[in-house]
Chain A
Amino acid sequence: MSVPAVHEFGYWWHRYRRTWRGTAVISIANPLLFVTALGFGLGRLVDERNSAYLHGGSYLAFIGPGLLAASAMQMGFIHGSGPVFQSARVGGNYRAAVTTPMEPSDIFTGHLLFTAFRATLDSAAILLVLLVFGAASPAALPGAVLTALAFATPISAYAVSTDRPAKLSALFRFVIMPLYMFSGTFFPAEQLPGPLRALVWLSPLWHGTELCRGSGPIVIHVLVLLALIVAGYLAGRRSYTRRLTA
Chain B
Amino acid sequence: MNHTGALVSARGLTKIYEGPPEHVAVGGIDFDVRRGEAFGFLGPNGAGKSTTMRMIGCVSPRSGGELTILGHDAARDRRTIKARLGSVPQDDTLDTELTVEENILIYGRYFGLRRDVIRERTDRLLEFARLTDKRASRVQDLSGGMRRRLTIARSLVNEPDLLLLDEPTTGLDPQARHLLWERLFRLKQDGVTLILTTHYMDEAEQLCDRLAVMDGGRIVAHGSPRELIERYVTREVLELRFPLDRHEQAAEKARGIGERIEVLPDRLLCYTSDGEAALEEAGRRGLDPLTALVRRSGLEDVFLTLTGRTLIE
Contact = CB atoms under 8 A, between A and B. Distances in A.
B185 interface: no
A100 B118 CA distance: 15
B8 to A, nearest CB: 16
Nearest to A246: B60
B112 interface: yes
A118 interface: no
Contact of A101 (B97, B102, B111): B111
B37 to A, nearest CB: 22
A96 B109 contact: no
B109 A95 contact: no
B83 interface: yes
A146 to B, nearest CB: 29
Interface of A: 3-4, 7, 10-11, 14-15, 90-93, 95-103, 244-246
Given A91-B91, A92-B93, A93-B95, A100 B110 contact: yes
B52 interface: no
Contacts of B106: 10-11, 14
Contacts of B91: 90-91, 95
11 contacts: A7-B110, A11-B109, A91-B92, A93-B93, A98-B59, A99-B57, A99-B82, A100-B83, A101-B79, A101-B110, A245-B59
Contacts of B105: 14
A7 B82 CA distance: 15
Contacts, number: 65
| The 9 nearest A-B residue pairs measured at CB | A100-B110, A96-B93, A99-B87, A95-B93, A101-B79, A101-B83, A101-B82, A7-B109, A91-B91
Contacts of B98: 14-15
Contact of B89 (A4, A10, A99, A244): A99
B107 interface: yes
Nearest to A3: B112
Interface of B: 17, 57, 59-61, 78-79, 82-83, 85, 87, 89, 91-95, 97-98, 102, 105-107, 109-112, 155, 158
Given A14-B102, A91-B91, A93-B95, A102 B59 contact: no
A107 to B, nearest CB: 9
Contact of B112 (A11, A91, A97, A101): A101
B111 A15 contact: no
B112 A4 contact: yes
Given A11-B106, A95-B89, A96-B107, 16 more contacts: A11-B109, A14-B105, A15-B98, A91-B92, A91-B93, A93-B93, A96-B95, A96-B110, A99-B59, A99-B85, A99-B87, A100-B83, A101-B79, A101-B82, A103-B78, A245-B60
Contacts of B155: 99
Nearest to A100: B110
Contacts of B83: 100-101
Contacts of A101: 78-79, 82-83, 110-112
Contacts of A15: 95, 97-98
A246 B17 CA distance: 8
A93 B57 CA distance: 17
